[in-house]
Amino acid sequence: MTDRVTFTAMEHGTREEYDLISAHDAANAASLPDRVLDWLRSMDGDSPYRISRLEHLLQTATRAERDGADDETIVCALLHDIGDVLAPANHSQVAAALLAPFVGEKNHWIVKHHGLFQGYYWFHHYGLDRDARDSFKDHEYYDACVDFCARWDQVSFDPDYDTLPLEHFEPLVRALFAREPRPFF
């Protein structure tokens, strides 16, 4: 990069310098779908499950599509565990943060909370409260998150399921991230 700002503290930046930064940020944003698809591909490796983490995501998205979900929800199903690449301990929140500028409130909430809701299926093995999700019982998206986990997420570890390939979902990923992002401030 040959053009650089001259400031060393943001308070000293000019409009022209911030225009330069905005152009750089726009180019970076345009490559987001490629990075997301690369992160997905990186999840195609050894796993303690009977299928790879990528296959789990593909299977979840396949089930969502076959169940008649809209395109945004299908992409959320595909990316719900993408946070495992960067932050396994809080993967749900990382995936939700990635998706937040591009998806509606309902899908954002489901992705953000699915990790806790999945605990219903395994928390009790560790002496934890499998009903911890019930702290959200009165939330308007509670049932939708329960359904997401029950119908698509927790059942998607089947090596014999007829799962669609990543290439099938790539146009949906590209279309989602081509949306005008909502401001974060």
Per-residue DSSP letter, 1: -
pTM for the full model?
Answer: 0.93
Longest dimension (CA), the chain: 59
Based on the number of CB atoms within 10 Å of its own CB, is 151 exposed (0-12), middle (13-18) or buried (19 or more)?
middle
Determine, yes or no, domain membership for 109: yes
Which parts of the chain register pLDDT below 70? 1-2, 184-185
52: region left, alpha or beta (phi > 0 left; psi from -120 to 50 alpha):
beta
* Type of residue numbered 36: V
Per-residue DSSP letter, 157: -
Q: Among candidates 64, 81, 66, 89, which has minimal Cα distance to 148?
A: 64
- pLDDT at residue 183, as a whole number: 80
CATH of the domain at 149: 1.10.3210.10
Determine, yes or no, domain membership for 9: no
Where would I find the H helices in the chain?
Answer: 15-30, 32-42, 53-66, 71-79, 91-99, 105-118, 142-147, 166-177
Determine, yes or no, domain membership for 184: no
Determine, yes or no, domain membership for 4: no
Range of the domain at 56: 14-177
Domain count, the chain: 1
Percent share of the chain, pLDDT over 90: 94
- pLDDT at residue 1, as a whole number: 54
- Residue 132 DSSP SS3: helix
